[in-house]
Structure formats: C-alpha cells, structure tokens
Amino acid sequence: MKSSPWERSYKIKVVGDSAIAIFLGNKIDEEINDVVLTVAKKIEEKNIKGITEVVPTYCSVYIYYDPLKADYRQVLNELHEIVKSTKVKGKIKTRTIKIPVAYGGEFGPDLEFVAQYHNMSIEDVIEIHSKPTYRVYMLGFTPGFAYMGGLDKRIATPRLKTPRKRVPAGSVGIAGEQTGIYPIESPGGWRLIGRTPLKLFNPKRDPPTLLLPGDRVKFIPIDHEEFYKILEEEGK
Amino acid sequence: MIEILDPGIFSTIQDLGRWGYQKYGVSVSGVMDEVSARLANMLVGNDENAAVIEFYMKGPKIKFHTVTYFVVGGDVIIRLNNKEITPWTRYKARTGDVLTMEFLRSGAYGYIAFSGGIYIEPILGSRSTYLRAKIGKKLETGDKIPIGTDYKIPIVESLPESLRPKYSNQVEVRVILGPNEDHFTENGIKTFLSSWYTLTSESDRMGYRLEGPKIEHSKLGPDIITDAVPLGSIQVPGNGLPIIMLADRQTTGGYAKIGVVIRVDIPKVAQLRPGGKIKFKQVSVDEAHELLLKRERILSLIKKMIYGKAIYTKIKVKKKDFKIFVEEIKD
C-alpha cells in the first residue's frame, strides 16, 4: 500500500479532558483541508460511542467526547485507524454556491476607498473580486462565518483602524488578504465593499448555514433593485 | 407564566448548552456553572438539562402568574412576598406571589429553576440564550416567560448545608497542558503554573481575562492557524496574559492555547468575581477523568437522595465523623 505524503506527519493530541485534536498539517492549504474534511466525515459516519461533535478547521479536526461514555484511549485508537485508512483520491466533491452581491453605495461604504487605495476604478475592484472561485476552508468566529481563501492580492486592503460598532448581516468585506461575509449583524473592522441579500445563517434551517466547509463560492454582481427583490424572497 | 419585574444586572435563560453545531460556527452557550444549575433542577423535579434563569451578581424580581415550584441556587438572601426564604430549598409559589433577591454574597452566577422548566421553543436543540446570534435575549422588565408542566416533585425539598456548592474567590484550578505548549518557553509555562492571576472586570460569559505575570511565548509566537476552542481553553495572546474561554466562547480562535481547564473545575472558574484570584495546577487526563467520574457519582447519589432512594447521614467511626450516603440495594 502506498502511503500519502501527509500520512507520516499527522499528530493526534488530547486537548483538555473532553476533546481530541488531529493535526493534519501546518499551513492553509487546499489539499490539507481536503484531508481534514475527509477525515472529519469518516469520523462522523463511524458513530463512535461517546463522540459528541466533530469540528473540522483549516488543518485539524477536533473531536469532542464525553469521558463518562467513552474511554479516551479507545477513542484515540479508533481515530488513528481512521486517519491511517483515509485515502484522498484527487479533489473532494464540492458544491459551488453563487452569492449575489450588490456592490458599493450604502451596501459597500468602503468600495471607493479600496479602489482609491489600489489606484483603480470601482468597476475594476468589482471585477477582480467577483472573478475568482473562492474556497470555504472552515466555519467559525460567528455562526455561518466562512473562512475563505482565494482573494486576488491586487485588492488586498488593511482593516479599518477603528472597527464599526455595527456591520449589517450579509456585508461582504475585505481584511488583508481575506474576503468574507458577515452572516449576522456584529461589530467588525473589515472594509465593506458590498452586501448579499442571502441569509448565511438561519437557525430554522438544517444545516443552519448556507455555506459548508469545502464549498466553492462565486460572487455574482447584482444591482440594488435586484438586491431588494431577492431579500424579499429570502424573508418568505 | 412568570413575569420579570426587574431583571437584575444580567439575566438570561440557559440550559446545559447547544451542543452539536460548533462545526457551523454556533457557540455552545449554556449555564456557566453546570453543578449549581443541575442541583437546582433536581430539587424541582426537572430533567437536569431543563432551562433555568441564570443571573449575574443580582437576581431578578419575579412575579408568578401560575402555581409553580421553584428553587434559587446560589449564596443569596431571597424573599417570597417579603418573607425571607432560603436558597437550595423548594418552595411553592402561587399566582400573584413576588420573588425578590439581594446581591449574591459569594459567587458570580446564581440560578432559578422552576418545576417544569422554562418552556420556550428550543432553537437548534437548546433553549440557551446566545446573544451574538440573536437567539434569545437579555431578560428585561415586563418579559413574560412560559413555564412547563412536565415534572415530578421529589421527596426531599432542601439540599443539606454540607452538600450545597461553596463559592470561593480564590481558587486553584486544574489544567491539562497544551495543545500548543510549543508556543511557550519553558519559563513561560513555569510562570503559568506558579503564579497567582487576578480576574479583570473585562470578563463575561464568553471569556475571563486575567492579569498577572506575563507568560513568555517561544519563537513560534502567540498565533496559531485558527482551530477549535474547547470549553476552558486558556488562550495567551501577544500581551502574555491568559484568557479562559467559557460558555459563550467562539467556536474557533487563532491564539495559542497553553492549557485547558478540566471540566470539574469550570464551575470554580465561572463563580470567580472580578478581583478574584486564580492559580493553575497541572494534572493528567486520567486524573481529570477520575475527578469527573467521582463528581458525577456524588451528583447521582444526591439525586437519589432527593428522590428518597438514598439517605445522607453522619456516622462516627473510631471517633471520626463521616458524612455518607446510604443506598438500599435490592435483590
């Protein structure tokens, strides 16, 4: 059996008395994240007694367990088995989620700044931002917030010096070399360039988030009229 | 139904937490001190996970619009219709009765459990308030809260004094080191395990910020590639001062974790007040699990005692006093 290049480098560690982490790499990398998501799915499917939650991140999988229901040494053994037997063949299956975004104006109060900062037109920023397909590595920070990779460095822009007290839900922003969407209203220091009318977090849906790890995201520029039309449909 | 006449300082509805959704970025939330909340629920005949009111420092003033049993868990002077009553004891409230409370004498969080539990619609499997996601809200004057009707009133109505939780503002808390111990120097870990830290007022249900000797990072620095944050994680950002992540913690974080507080010691941490002192002691995972098992054994004996299936008593053996549980073993 041929072993994958990462196989020799994984590490499993107990974290506190109710969690175990599997570290599968040490950088933000699509291939490592593919392994993370594959391993996480396998663990969930195995329904190991006492495991309460599996949380995939950039390059690790966290497993929460109930020490009253499971012996951690046994869980560790099972996890080793799973990691060792996991083969990732090519790219993992993904969905592409189209996210309509109304750029600029009241929805993107920092769009002009971003354009000026890079000496380009507003249209250029929109074009550069909506052209790539982004990858969702993980969810965290707030419900439904997707850590995405793939922003074109030409529009990378530093955060605001003073964060806004209230950023509306759906706001699309840039912070350094990251781009992201605020799923719920919260304080925040990202440069806001637009807003999507889609609900990224809805506790009444299952799953409660629009985006899932491994998803590809494509931003579709829309005008402000269309924004309100979709917003109304989302509210239904 | 009950009505909030005065919410106190910060009161919310909580159960034992919204587990299972961390992979979607949804925080666990839930009560800060699971032992106090579970004991209060036991006394009113509820499932231990029933929703209760959690209050910070000062309890709410509540008017009952229904007949219900209730228990206040915490070290606090309470009154029912201006008549002083005692915590950790079950009372029957009648329509029109008013419950008032003074400030907690010790501890930071108190609980009010109602027979039948607070009966709001669960969201993602839990009734816990999660303010950041606008699930539930901070209780306000005029709020009317439905109470359930499914309960079985147990036999014992009051927790014996020696079984009531004691809250201290100076605690030694046991931790399991790591997972990012390599982000700290040997000296840094020594500082962490040998110093007294003080809880700052910049602390809330999300996390407790501590002040004290700075913990030295290794050349790897304070940042990690963002990963998950278990309950009790102790993050150390660039300023070298530890933050203990609690009920409303974010599911993920990018600061190195020097250690994780063991589950049995979470209530001790939660009940600290700003200015409280804390010291960390390293234990092994096996020790942590043994301690948890022991605590759960005692809690289950207390539950049996409350339901009349065990007796809690004092005995003298060789001139020494012991407090013991006696459980009948049936063939």
Average pLDDT of the segment spanning B293-308? 96
Contacts of B263 in chain A (CB under 8 A): 16-18, 67
Query: How does DSSP assign chain A, residue by residue?
Result: -PPPTTGGG-EEEEETTTEEEEE--SS--HHHHHHHHHHHHHHHHHT-TTEEEEEE-SSEEEEEE-TTT--HHHHHHHHHHHHHH----SSPP--EEEEEEEESGGG-TTHHHHHHHTT--HHHHHHHHHSSPEEEEEE-SSTT-EEEE---GGG-BPPPSS-EEEE-TTEEEEEBTEEEE-SS-EEE-SEEEEE--S-SB-TTSSSSBS--TT-EEEEEEE-HHHHHHHHHHHH-
Half-sphere exposure of B243 (CA within 13 A, CB side): 25
Give yes or no for residue A206 having a pLDDT over 90: no
Instruction: Please tell me the distance in Å from B212's CA to the nearest CA on chain A.
Output: 23
Average pLDDT of the segment spanning A5-10? 63
Instruction: Please tell me the distance in Å from A117's CA to the nearest CA on chain B.
Output: 28
Q: State pLDDT tens for residues B87-111.
A: 999 999 999 999 999 999 999 999 9
CB contact under 8 A, B179 and A15: yes
What's residue B150's pLDDT? 84
Q: Using pLDDT thresholds of 50, 70 and 90, give the confidence band for residue B233.
A: very high
Q: Using pLDDT thresholds of 50, 70 and 90, give the confidence band for residue A12.
A: very high
Find out whether B120 and B146 touch, Cβ atoms under 8 Å: yes
Q: Domain-by-domain residue ranges, chain B?
A: 2-163, 170-283, 286-327
Contacts of B25 in chain A (CB under 8 A): 139-145, 183, 201, 209
Instruction: Please tell me the distance in Å from B253's CA to the nearest CA on chain A.
Output: 7
Q: State pLDDT tens for residues B22-32.
A: 999 999 999 99
Q: Using pLDDT thresholds of 50, 70 and 90, give the confidence band for residue A145.
A: very high
Average pLDDT of the segment spanning B302-311? 94
CB of B176 less than 8 A from some CB of A? yes
Q: What is the pTM of this model?
A: 0.94
Interface test with A, best of B18, B227, B249 (most A CBs within 10 A): B227
Q: Choose the closest CB to B226 out of A21, A27, A58.
A: A58
Q: Using pLDDT thresholds of 50, 70 and 90, give the confidence band for residue A4.
A: low
Average pLDDT of the segment spanning A208-228? 96
Q: Which of A157-161, A198-202, B154-158 has the lowest mean pLDDT?
A: A157-161
What's residue B189's pLDDT? 98
Q: Using pLDDT thresholds of 50, 70 and 90, give the confidence band for residue A2.
A: very low
What's residue A1's pLDDT? 42
CB contact under 8 A, B257 and A207: no
CB of B146 less than 8 A from some CB of A? no
Q: Tell me, what DSSP letter sits at residue B116?
A: T
Q: State pLDDT tens for residues A25-72.
A: 988 999 999 999 999 999 999 999 999 999 999 999 999 999 999 999
Q: Choose the closest CB to A67 out of B124, B225, B292.
A: B292
CATH C-level class of B170-283: mainly beta
How far is residue B220's CA from residue B305's CA, in Å, rounded to a whole number? 52
Instruction: Please tell me the distance in Å from B286's CA to the nearest CA on chain A.
Output: 8
What's residue B331's pLDDT? 64
Average pLDDT of the segment spanning B118-139? 96
Q: State pLDDT tens for residues B4-13.
A: 999 999 999 9
What's residue A87's pLDDT? 81
Give yes or no for residue A89 having a pLDDT over 50: yes
Contacts of A186 in chain B (CB under 8 A): 132
CB contact under 8 A, A53 and B23: yes
Q: Using pLDDT thresholds of 50, 70 and 90, give the confidence band for residue A94.
A: confident
Q: Which of A92-96, B97-101, B326-330 has the lowest mean pLDDT?
A: B326-330
Query: How does DSSP assign B148-173, residue by residue?
Result: -------S--B--GGGS----SEEEE
Q: Choose the closest CB to B22 out of A55, A60, A207.
A: A55
Instruction: Please tell me the distance in Å from B93's CA to the nearest CA on chain A.
Output: 35
What's residue A236's pLDDT? 63
What's residue A197's pLDDT? 97
Give percent of chain B with pLDDT exceeding 70: 100
Average pLDDT of the segment spanning B192-198? 98
Domains of chain A: 7-85 (3.30.1360.40), 96-235 (2.40.100.10)
CB of B20 less than 8 A from some CB of A? yes
Q: Choose the closest CB to B135 out of A144, A186, A203.
A: A203
CB contact under 8 A, B24 and A207: yes
Q: State pLDDT tens for residues A98-130.
A: 999 999 999 999 999 999 999 999 999 999 999
Q: State pLDDT tens for residues B235-246.
A: 999 999 999 999
Average pLDDT of the segment spanning B212-219? 98
Give yes or no for residue A7 having a pLDDT over 80: no
CB contact under 8 A, B25 and A142: yes
CB contact under 8 A, A19 and B20: no
